[in-house]
């Protein structure tokens, strides 16, 4: 064995760190899809459920016939008009809190016209999700 120079050892370690960092950066950091997450979980004997699946299963467990309220959103209706209609139909208690949630989720202008059947007792996020699809 020869003489080891501290300078050469430190240079080798530094090059190794830089190289491994560059390799890590080039690999990227992408988000997994729900399907990929489920597949990985199944490999370990786990299950992954979405929020909608949990809510749906709870409704089915508690009461097979969940009451749905029919709602028609017409072209040109403002978010305030829609919130008032939701109150009128008994789907929500007050329009102000619903309008605040619309603003928080940036969905004020994303509400779409159509006929919807909204389960009684739905939360603001569930309602917004239905009305923006």
Q: In the prediction, which pLDDT does 120 show?
A: 83
Q: In the prediction, which pLDDT does 32 show?
A: 75
52 versus 35: the higher-pLDDT residue is: 35
Q: In the prediction, which pLDDT does 2 show?
A: 60
Does 82 score more than 80 pLDDT? Answer: yes
pTM: 0.52
Q: Once rounded to an integer, what is the mean pLDDT over residues 105-126? A: 89
Does 57 score more than 70 pLDDT? Answer: no
Residue 103: is it exposed, middle or buried by C-beta count within 10 angstroms (0-12/13-18/19+)? exposed
Domains and CATH numbers, the chain: 52-131 (3.30.1490.480)
What's the 3-state SS for the chain?
Answer: CCCCCHHHHHHHHHHHHHHHHHHHHHHCCCCCCHHHHHHHHHHCCCCCCCHHHHHHHHHHHHCCCCCEEEEEECCCCCHHHHHHHHHHCCCCCCHHHHHHHHHHCCCCCCCCCEEEEEECCCCHHHHHHHHCC
């Amino acid at each position: 064995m020869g003489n080891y120079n501290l300078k050469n050892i430190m240079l080798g370690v530094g090059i190794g760190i830089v190289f491994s960092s560059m390799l890590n950066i080039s690999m990227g950091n992408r988000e997994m899809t729900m399907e990929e997450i489920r597949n990985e979980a199944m490999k370990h004997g786990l299950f992954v459920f979405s929020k909608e699946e949990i809510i749906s299963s709870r409704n089915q467990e508690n009461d097979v016939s969940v009451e749905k309220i029919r709602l028609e959103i017409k072209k040109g209706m403002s978010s305030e008009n829609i919130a008032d209609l939701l109150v009128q139909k008994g789907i929500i208690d007050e329009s102000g809190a619903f309008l605040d949630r619309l603003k928080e989720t940036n969905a004020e202008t994303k509400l779409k016209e159509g006929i919807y059947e909204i389960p009684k007792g739905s939360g603001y996020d569930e309602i917004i999700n239905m009305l923006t699809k």
